[in-house]
Amino acid sequence: MTPAPPDLPTVEGAVEVLRRGGLVAFPTETVYGLGADASNEAAVARIFAVKGRPPHHPLIVHLPSAEALEAWARGDLAAAHRLAERFWPGPLTLVLRRQPWVSHRVTGGAETVALRVPAHPLALELLRRFGGGIAAPSANRFGSVSPTTAQHVRQSLGDAVDLILDGGPCPVGVESTILDLSGSTPAVLRPGGVPREELEAVLGHALLVPARPNVPSPGQHPRHYSPTATLLLVERESLPWEAIRLSRAGRRVGVLLPPGSPPLPGEVHAAVRLPADLAEYARQLYALLIHLDELGCQVILATLPPEEGLGAAIADRLRRAAAGEAPL
């Protein structure tokens, strides 16, 4: 007789883990999150320990629905509700003034709190059954590429997580857009799954995209979302020559090849062709970077996509992944 397969983690099991202060990795529509009970300080502290994340960097609290907004945020929430109605569940995080009881462990000491209702059915079921807020950063070690499959989470965090819910690959693939509504002027702190243009259409005015936010944010660190290989941004015209030059200099070169570019010669270690559709590109971006790392690439060459729609989030992540890399 073949032995029975081990029980797959269930949402009920995940709720129990959260209730006793444990960590659950769960799928969202953007990337996998590393979740803890947002009202349990010790549980939230474990997130920072497991990720290796500096303690003053705030976490996003995931909520089961927009009805929970008032429990976590205060002040005039009219704009928040308007945006929530249009974009929640979905890849939009709203930064609002926090309720006084919300722990500084979650807010990183800030007077604001970041809130979102994720669109993935497993995440929503988890949140509904748990009933409270789940604090969750992306389920990767600090500074590295965010996971878009359960397998990525296992590779990155392994046994440090108490339970991993596997919901398949994340359909959006880049993190949520972070919109700060806590000040006098709304500002996009991080481009993401909801394009800025769509937010502007609902708000009826153009949005500020500050070069530097007021609150320290890991997603705002110059170097972030980085693969192990050195990521270099190059102009599209010089991509083939750079790939060949670096290969001849003895490097294992990986290339994110823009749609329509001619194929590269075989001396280039690995090339993956990018989809023309930006939503599809966003969906695949992190998995492709992880794949090129796994193929042993030492250098990854990429070009910036057009910065409209989801292209803004892709370009942002590529820039941050490449930040601080000197030309080779």
> Which residues make up the interface to ligand TXA (CB under 6 A)?
28, 30-31, 33, 57-60, 91, 93, 95, 107, 110, 112-114, 118, 136-138, 175-176, 178, 189-190, 215, 217-220
- Least Å distance between CB 56 and Mg ion? 15
Q: From the list Mg ion, ligand TXA, none, which binds 148 (C-beta under 5 to 8 Å, kind-based)?
A: none
Q: From the list ligand TXA, Mg ion, none, which binds 114 (C-beta under 5 to 8 Å, kind-based)?
A: ligand TXA
Q: From the list Mg ion, ligand TXA, none, which binds 40 (C-beta under 5 to 8 Å, kind-based)?
A: none
Structure tokens at 203: 């708000």
Task: Map residue 101 onto helix, strand or coil.
Answer: coil
Return the closest-CA partner of residue 150 out of 178, 123, 116, 118: 123
Q: From the list Mg ion, ligand TXA, none, which binds 285 (C-beta under 5 to 8 Å, kind-based)?
A: none
Q: From the list ligand TXA, Mg ion, none, which binds 288 (C-beta under 5 to 8 Å, kind-based)?
A: none
Binds Mg ion (CB under 5 A): choice among 112, 138, 144, 156: 138
Nearer to Mg ion, 138 or 247 (CB): 138
Q: Which stretch binds Mg ion (CB under 5 A): 4-12, 89-97, 136-144, 241-249?
A: 136-144
What distance in Å separates the CA atoms of residue 103 and residue 231, rounded to the nearest whole number?
Answer: 37
Is residue 176 near Mg ion by the rule CB under 5 A?
no
Structure tokens at 160: 């440090």
Helix or strand (DSSP H, E) at 195? none
Cβ-closest residue to Mg ion?
138
- Contact (Cβ atoms closer than 8 angstroms) between residue 278 and residue 305: yes
Task: Map residue 200 onto helix, strand or coil.
Answer: helix
What distance in Å separates the CA atoms of residue 220 and residue 164, rounded to the nearest whole number?
Answer: 27
Nearer to ligand TXA, 137 or 171 (CB): 137
> Which DSSP string do the residues of 123-152 spell out, in sequence order?
HHHHHHHH-S-EE--BSS-TTBPPPSSHHH
How many residues touch Mg ion under the rule CB under 5 A: the total is 1
- CA 173-34-70 angle, 5° bins: 90
Which residues, including other chains, have CB under 8 Å from residue 8's CB and lie 6 or more apart? Answer: 166
Q: From the list ligand TXA, Mg ion, none, which binds 229 (C-beta under 5 to 8 Å, kind-based)?
A: none
- Contact (Cβ atoms closer than 8 angstroms) between residue 299 and residue 246: yes
- DSSP character at residue 10: -
- Least Å distance between CB 115 and ligand TXA? 9
- Least Å distance between CB 224 and Mg ion? 7
- DSSP character at residue 229: S
Q: Which stretch binds Mg ion (CB under 5 A): 130-138, 178-186, 198-206, 257-265?
A: 130-138
Question: Rule CB under 5 A: which of 223-262 touch Mg ion?
Answer: none
φ and ψ of 267, to 5 deg: -70, -15
- Least Å distance between CB 14 and Mg ion? 20
Structure tokens at 219: 């997603």
Q: Could you list the residues that contact Mg ion (CB under 5 A)?
A: 138
